[in-house]
Structure 1
């Protein structure tokens, strides 16, 4: 066989071998890519994303789009060729698998966690929106979860309203832990509660609960230190003066909170907040209206611009990353709070674009 032919054959075989290795060799990476965007002022699957009843609402126009990121599943094993392609593709990001699924988290666990965060973000969005509009929202401290095989199991239940601990009134979830840890492990704690079913019935009937119970729960020592615990997580539940439903399936995580809150405000106030423009954005939100950072900002920018967005409301802590690679035609608007966002939407509506707070490369 001629030397030239032999060399070409050897090179071809080596290439095929490398290609096979690349295809079959798994690497510890996952991929993020732009996901769909949804207009919180519009509808999806035949339902309004935001439905408000029991309160006057007003027509809206334009877009206030929440943005999402697609990620490969926890059980998906990327090969070397896919990883290289992802690194070279501008609209995708390849990240270590543990970044998306820490501590060996399974697909089911990740889905459950994202669902819980999404539910909490909806609750906080409602509170923040109504507080921004000076509409009072009643709150109460509740048992949000009970740990399996803990002293509180079968004594306390999720949804129980915690009025007092050892006779001391509680106003914040943190008050519960502060009062419990005053005990030594093995001592009893007395909770004064409104049972969950009574609390739900009272809220539905629009009355104050009339049934309270005292529940004694023994403490045990925490695994990580010597603190006394009973095995519950305390949280905050809210009673709204009217109904706000958020109808959106197959979405998880907390990052839509800001856009939900803005959509609620727009529907409850006369005039269109956007002035008819296409605004997208992202950001977590807490009950006080503070906007927090999110992951996958680069992917969300691409998804927003592909959908037609002109402006993107960007959490302050994500600004530097977002500004380093902004799609052409998309204007970043820096936001720290929901009040910042509403002021910026006013500037967009009135055409004061040069007055918008911008994001700078860090």
Structure 2
């Protein structure tokens, strides 16, 4: 009896204290981007006319838990509500949970910026192109700074970020090109840059000349759009944020009293990309009362296999298609489905 008790006690300690190299993934909280959290509007527009909305437009999340004991892992697995994944799928070598949270926070902030630009481009508001990042030691390093507005490159006017690569299409390393830019409220200035070789800066082999900047579109408007949401990370809320901005800045109500949920990474051109954890987000949306879920087209097969009963899956691949799908629902038409 003593031996059995001792063995049971040791196993209990091992199961309760020993951590396994896995993380648990499950449904996370959802947030109505048309509503308020902690008495503050999630999506706020200041300085521009906005319109009343109805219904809910819920962004969905996935809960990821680290530092799991052996018994804890078994309990989560048996529950059927959570899945276990190797820790190195989510964490880089030596990466701490705090470092991962910082990385996710940065991606979340970038997704907010992309959502704003995508929404305002869709609504035909003007945008400007700025230097988002400068490669250390590259030809433009020391000339341009992050945030500088690009006005022209190699004689071509810059209206959207794609214009920068188009302006360099027929160049080669060693060519001299003129760049006109503006820093803050300073007058525009022009500098002549000798193009480098992309491979010299770890950017991959290419025939055209290399500047060493990453251009990105930014909204060029007098009003301000702010997203207030803490303790959320990752890029997958971009589509829903963009839809919330569109809904607030246009007459009518896209949701028409319904509870619509969704997910999807978005770029500044309004393209919707795939995300991870779709099955858990579907569960979270259903439990939050959603009747419609906007699914990135690339996630449709997985979503269709795991969709809860009563949840309509609407396939989207751009911001425009998502708006059109919601307008179809409001008009009683059938939108594209998974």
TM-score category of the 2 structures, normalised to the smaller one: 0.7 to 0.9
Is 2:108–2:232's contact at 8 Å kept on the other side of the alignment? yes
Cα-Cα RMSD: 3.2
Partner of 1:161: 149
Deviations 1:175-226 (A, max 9, x none): 6567399554xx585552324223xx7xxxxxxxx42131546747224766
Mean Cα displacement is larger for which, 166-175 or 116-125? 166-175
Aligned counterpart in structure 2 of residue 37 of structure 1, from 30, 43, 64: 30
Q: Which runs of 5+ in 2 are unaligned?
A: none
Displacement of 1:52: 2.4
In the aligned structure 2, how far is the partner of 1:211 from the partner of 1:229? Answer: 22
Cα distance per residue 1:231-256 (max 9 Å; x no partner)? 43332223136433222233222211
> Max radius of gyration: which structure?
1
CA contact (8 A) 2:117 2:218 kept: no
Contact 2:130 2:216 in 1 (8 A): yes
Q: 1:98 corresponds to which residue?
A: 88
Residues 18 and 230 of structure 1, relative CA distance in 2, 3 Å threshold: farther
* Contact 1:152–1:232 under 8 Å retained in 2: yes
Aligned to 1:120: 110
Offset at 1:342? 2.6
- Residue 229 (structure 1) shift: 4.9
Could you tell me how far apart the structure 2 residues matched to 1:261 and 1:105 are? 31
Q: Residue 233 of structure 1 aligns with which residue? A: 214
Partner of 2:57: 64
Aligned partner (choices 194, 204, 229) of residue 181 of structure 2: 194
Q: 1:215 to 1:182 in 2, by over 3 A?
A: closer
When structure 1 is superposed on structure 2, of 149-158 and 253-262 the one drifting more is 149-158
Aligned counterparts, 1:148-187, within 5 A: 148=136, 152-167=140-155, 169-170=157-158, 173=161, 176=164, 179=168, 182-184=171-173, 187=174
TM-score (norm 2): 0.83
State the secondary structure of the residue aligned to 1:324: helix
Partners of 1:262 and 1:171 in 2: CA distance: 24
Question: Is the CA contact 1:162–1:191 (under 8 Å) kept in the aligned structure 2?
Answer: no
Q: 1:275 to 1:172 in 2, by over 3 A?
A: closer
- Give the number of aligned pairs: 333
In the TM superposition, residue 278 of structure 1 has moved relative to its aligned partner by: 1.3
Confirm or deny that 1:214 pairs with 2:214: no
TM-score with structure 1 setting the length: 0.78
Shift of 1:39: 0.9
> Matched residues in 2 for 1:165 and 1:347: separation?
42
The answer to whether the 8 A contact 1:121-1:254 is kept is yes
1:297 is aligned to 278
Unaligned runs of 5+ in 1: 202-209
